[in-house]
Amino acid sequence: MVIVVGNQAPDFTLPDENGVEQTLSAQRGKKMVIYFYPKDGTPGCTKEACSLRDGYGLLQQAGITIWGISYDSPKSHKAFKAKHHLPFTLLSDSTKEVAKLYGVKGWFFVDRVTFLIDEKGVVVQRLDDVDVSAHAQQIVDAFKAAGKEK
């Protein structure tokens, strides 16, 4: 499946790092970022997560809620989040169904892709060329370019 900018983001429910089910459609009314990343604790993924952590204030100021998704377990996510003091939610797609739904399912790891979703649940941008060192700024700039950020 290919997610097309301008279409409704496919809905899903996944467990977070605490095992609590999170549903995308319950976030309507918020600007959402769903970033898929290969694996907790790997160099590129750690750099990306820490970049988002360091730019979290910028994201909050822009009214953006962020969820990270990988195939890792809630337990792995909890440890990764605690170790790096990540202030955002990490979701476990252990069945790879959501990655498949979003067209980012890799053989061993999910592809590194970020989706920007507006308050109505519409995909306004897909970022395939993720800058792991400055991802928060990249997201804010992409929302601005899409006309969704003041």
Residues belonging to the active site: 45
Distance CA 147, CA 150 (A): 8
| Whole-angstrom distance, CA of residue 131 vs CA of residue 11 | 26
> How many Å apart are CA 44 and CA 100, to the nearest integer?
22
